[in-house]
């Protein structure tokens, strides 16, 4: 047995039955749920940063010491490559990919999600003018590197010159890096 709730179909009532719940959902999503989740994510990020700030500062200090050890050899290798028009690393940043996308505005500080790794990358350039970082190796384990933002995805951005050309490449943390390559030309 059917129960008749409404005798005639009223287009205004039917439209309101569709539009009102949909509008209510969209308004709640935009003005209540989204701000709540954004605030919660920001709070989690701040808690994570507070929890890891001391180990990150220690890791940065260790990376700086390692970079000082590598400095003489890295500069010598860079000068040799400059003389022969070989591979010269001009910029290298490692850290959070969101910050890497704004790399022109980067200023390295102790709470920065990136670290300048130009020196260790120049150190790793071979005498034949190539740089190869193997796949599956976490970049923060390389001497002169550190993990500037634990728990966040990281990438390595490298800008370099080779011959008369300028090149750039960005790779994920565990991906391999092989430079120079023609498809990386700017």
As a whole number of angstroms, the distance between CA 97 and CA 114 comes to 9
pTM of the model: 0.74
Q: Could you say which DSSP state residue 40 is in?
A: H
What average pLDDT does the chain have? 89
Give the tens place of pLDDT for each residue, 35-59: 999 999 889 878 887 888 888 899 9
Give the tens place of pLDDT for each residue, 59-113: 999 999 999 999 999 999 999 999 999 999 999 999 987 765 665 555 566 678 8
As a whole number of angstroms, the distance between CA 16 and CA 154 comes to 48
First to last CA, the chain: 74
User: What is the signed CA dihedral for 30, 34, 38, 41, rounded to 10 degrees?
Assistant: -170
**What does the domain layout of the chain look like in residue ranges?**
40-184
């Amino acid at each position: 047995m059917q129960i008749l709730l409404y005798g005639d179909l009223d287009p205004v009532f039917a439209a309101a039955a569709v539009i009102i719940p949909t509008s209510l959902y969209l308004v709640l999503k935009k003005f209540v749920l989204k701000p709540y989740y954004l605030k919660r994510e920001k709070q989690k990020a701040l808690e994570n940063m507070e929890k890891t700030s001391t180990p990150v500062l220690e890791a940065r200090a260790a990376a700086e010491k390692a970079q000082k050890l590598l400095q003489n050899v890295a500069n010598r290798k860079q000068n040799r490559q400059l003389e022969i028009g070989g591979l010269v690393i001009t910029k290298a940043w490692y850290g959070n990919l969101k910050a890497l996308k704004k790399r022109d505005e980067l200023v390295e500080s102790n709470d920065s999600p990136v670290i300048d790794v130009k020196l260790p990358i120049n150190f790793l350039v071979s005498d034949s003018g190539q740089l190869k970082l193997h796949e599956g190796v976490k970049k923060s384990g390389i001497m002169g590197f550190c993990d500037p933002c634990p728990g966040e995805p990281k990438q390595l951005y490298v800008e370099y010159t080779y011959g008369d050309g300028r090149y750039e490449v960005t790779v994920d943390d565990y991906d391999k890096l092989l430079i120079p390559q023609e498809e990386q030309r700017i």
